Amino acid sequence: MRTTWILASLLAFSGTFLTARETTASAAHEQVIDRFDYAGAASSRAAWESGKGTPPVTVVRDTGRNVLEFRAPFASVPELPRTILDRDVTLDLATAGQFLLEVWTDQPSAGARVTLYFRSGRGWYGCGASLSEEGWHTLRFPKARFGVEDSPTGWHKVDGIRISVWRGKAVDCRIRLRKLAAVWHDVALLVPSSEDAGSDSRRMVLRTAEEFQSLLSEMGVEADTLDDLAVARGALGRRPLVVIPYAPRIRSEAVRALRAFLDRGGKLFACYTLPVELQGPLGIARLRYYRPEQPGGLAEIRFDARDIAGLPKSVRQASWNINAPEVQGRGARVIGWWYDVRGRSTKRPALVVGPRGAFFSHIVLSDDREGKRQMLAAVLGHLAPTLWPQMAASSIRSIGRIGHLNGVSAVTQFVRASSSRHRAAAALQRGLQTEQRARQLLAGRQYPQAVQTARQARQHLMTAYLQAVPSRPVEGRAFWNHSGTGIYPGDWDRTARELAAAGINMVIPNLLWAGRAHYPSDVLPRSKTFQEYGDQIAQSIAACHKYGIEVHVWKVNHNLSGAPKEFVEQLRREGRLQVGRTGKTHNWLCPSHPKNFELERDSMLEVVRKYDVDGIHFDYIRYPNNDHCYCDGCRKRFEAETGTRVARWPDDCYDGPLHDRYRDWRCQQITRLVAAVSREAKKIRPGIKISAAVFGHYPQCRISVGQDWAAWIKAGYLDFVCPMDYTQSDADFRSLVENQIKIIAGRIPIYPGVGAFRLTPDRMIGQIVIARSLGADGFTIFNLEPNSAASLLSALKAGATRTKATPPHRR
């Protein structure tokens, strides 16, 4: 397999690595692939072949039996990026929903993560997991999280396995393997097959399925991801429930299999699209597309179905469009309706439930995670009552999983040790009492009531936790605002007032891209946002400065998303767009083109000249991936600047003898823009602060996307940095921030990026607590938007930002 793909995959998988804390569910059914209990070294080496640089495997005794062992010599062999073990097999893994690997290590810091690969014909599937604990533990690899390289034949024809441990710290370690198993459960998630693997549509499908599976797992419901080819071949078996998170296309054979599944009593929960043949059994017809004219037109779902136990009154969801169904009888009814951001009914159905299933008119998004879990638990429990016991037991176990903590006793200890313990004492006491009632309901098999009471207990303990988190006097507290219009489009004053009340001292609004500007630019095309709401830089500065909040204007570099078509076409004609390794043009500016350099530089400096900004903020200051740019201009400029002739373009530069030199040259194209803007901006406006949103994994991002942010810091181009450490895994977050702080070495403040869009508010606070404990100087939260702002700001001002703070870059 190409090393370049592997490096890119590490970045793609970085937000989904799982720790032992997150691998709690037991398998309903299991197929052991390898027990690793070989009689001796000879038989183990006959089965598992070591790749280049990986010592041969051996067999040792552990836990009363033989297990496989190999060494990862990351200190002895500094140039070794990973270990490789390969085995040839013949397996049909179509029915499997996930894979479990029992692993042991004596130095978890040496191997940052493990990637499990399955070879199928001319392609591979791959998924990563964190190696974060000493001793034996189980890593989980859900099928929905597997990426695809090239063109695998399918999960039904797997002919090879690869296990790779990736370099973490420069430490030699031992790895032991005890069992690799495929498992499957009673709930299946259906996705289209991998025939269009790598397409944007399929990536969206897999991301949606992954998010749905994550929500189910948090509810205590394990689900298996099956593609429609496997379903067509009978992989559903006797499962009682199928979920379709998003499937724009389902092959006809799978549709027939699903219809047969419904006819024999199975239940279906489908989102957004559904083949006509399956609409009738659910009691719906004629899905009508609807897209609001204004942002916030679909913001909330309100429910009315008292007979469905545990259904919340409402959930928040910021959808951009829906497919609204018509109800056609068969016992189907609308139980949830869409409302806009102002609380007005749209009179369009959000959720229809009938005897044979349910239909949700959009995909299930990750905002308002607690509300989504409650909604799904109620509806899925209504459709498949056998799920209630496991959901109830999981709810009890989850009561103390709050913030960065894992257990009621840990929460109790944290609160009682806090300097704010007196503020949090009442909520803590209520939480402990309510937890006992929830356990009594579970013992009495009153499952829906146990789930509801457990949620109440968790809410009380969460309140105590949030109140117990201290506020610091010196700290950078920032929000990225992707829309560039604040929380309330057209009302920056209200946005700034609410941020200030929550103790936030910085906002980073996205106000210009490579091909559009939300202000009257003389360099870039003026956006629809500017046409509708006016000058967003002037409005944000006036409002935020009024309330003592800094404004750092966020520029999306190189990416031409949203740019006027005629603007992009002109750039295309001029040969200024990036070209991939295969020759396909990509709508990003080529960083090495002189005119693109001038456009990017001048657009940022225009902001500095015209406005009283506190800072300018780089984003997308990189290449899109490892496959760009290989345009003719890049070849000419690379050859001219390096004095090197490329014999085979682009192969010599992509993975040939010039690979390293070309990667260095790509970094230089990005760095020169950062250097120029930093230097010129400070001449124009002394005291301005230069910052950047950067990839969390360094030095991997230097190779994969040409982003050498450590060099920018050493050269003095940045005044603070915001690594985008978006992950649901606290272990991964900790590892990322630790590495970043070590690289920065105190030269400038670091405000790690927290992906609140993937976290509940308490988990967001938990990662802030972790960052503080490691020595970070603040935090940057993604994203400030209407549907989540209230809950995020409430969680922050409960404790972590209760009092005002000064950003350290201003001291």
pLDDT classification of 111: cutoffs 50, 70, 90 = low
Same domain, 158 and 221: no
Same domain, 377 and 513: no
Q: What are the φ/ψ torsions at residue 783 (nearest 5 degrees)?
A: -145, 150
Q: How many domains does the chain have?
A: 4
Same domain, 149 and 268: no
pLDDT at position 200 over 70: no
Q: Which of 159, 184, 209 is the last residue of a domain?
A: 184
Same domain, 616 and 700: yes
pLDDT at position 14 over 60: no
Residue 391, domain member (yes or no):
no
Same domain, 536 and 566: yes
Q: Which of 184, 219, 245 is the last residue of a domain?
A: 184
Same domain, 146 and 234: no
Residue 390, domain member (yes or no):
no
Q: Which of 354, 383, 412 is the last residue of a domain?
A: 383
Same domain, 685 and 771: yes
Q: How far is CA 615 from CA 564, 618, 683, 750, in A?
A: 27, 10, 13, 15
What pLDDT was estimated at residue 26? Answer: 38
What pLDDT was estimated at residue 788? Answer: 87
**C-alpha radius of gyration, the chain, whole number:** 27
Residue 389, domain member (yes or no):
no
What pLDDT was estimated at residue 7? Answer: 31
Burial class (CB in 10 A: 0-12, 13-18, 19+), 291: exposed
Residue 370, domain member (yes or no):
yes
Q: H/E/C letters for each residue in 110-177?
A: CEEEEEEEEEEEEEEEEEEEECCCCEEEEEEEEHHHCEEEEEECCCCCEEEEEEEEEECCCCEEEEEE
Q: What is the mean pLDDT of the chain?
A: 93
Residue 91, domain member (yes or no):
yes
Same domain, 449 and 515: no
Q: What percent of the chain has pLDDT over 70?
A: 95
Q: Assign residue 576 the CATH number of its domain.
A: 3.20.20.80
Same domain, 217 and 321: yes
Q: Write down the number of H helices and E strands in the chain.
A: 24, 32
Are 758 and 366 in contact by the 8 Å Cβ rule? The answer is yes
Peptide bond into 650 cis (omega under 30): yes
> What letter does residue 664 receive in the DSSP assignment?
H
Q: What is the mean pLDDT of residues 345-369?
A: 96
Dump pLDDT digits (tens) for 139-179. Answer: 999 886 788 898 898 888 999 999 999 988 888 999 999 99
Are 97 and 28 in contact by the 8 Å Cβ rule? The answer is no
Dump pLDDT digits (tens) for 751-767. Answer: 999 999 989 999 999 99
Same domain, 552 and 424: no
Q: Using the structure block, give the residue that is written with the tokens 């972790």.
A: 770
Same domain, 570 and 684: yes
Same domain, 99 and 133: yes
What pLDDT was estimated at residue 434? Answer: 98
pLDDT classification of 15: cutoffs 50, 70, 90 = very low
CA 539 from chain center: how many Å? 31
Dump pLDDT digits (tens) for 370-383. Answer: 899 999 999 999 99
Tell me the CB-side half-sphere exposure of residue 56, using CA atoms within 13 A: 10
Residue 388, domain member (yes or no):
no
Residue 361, domain member (yes or no):
yes
Structure tokens at 388: 């209630």
d(CA 76, CA 722) in angstroms, rounded, equals: 33
d(CA 396, CA 27) in angstroms, rounded, equals: 19
| Residue 424: domain span | 396-468
Structure tokens at 643: 């004095």
Residue 7, domain member (yes or no):
yes
Q: Assign residue 7 the CATH number of its domain.
A: 2.60.120.260
pLDDT at position 424 over 80: yes
Dump pLDDT digits (tens) for 472-517. Answer: 999 999 999 999 999 999 999 999 999 999 999 999 999 999 999 9
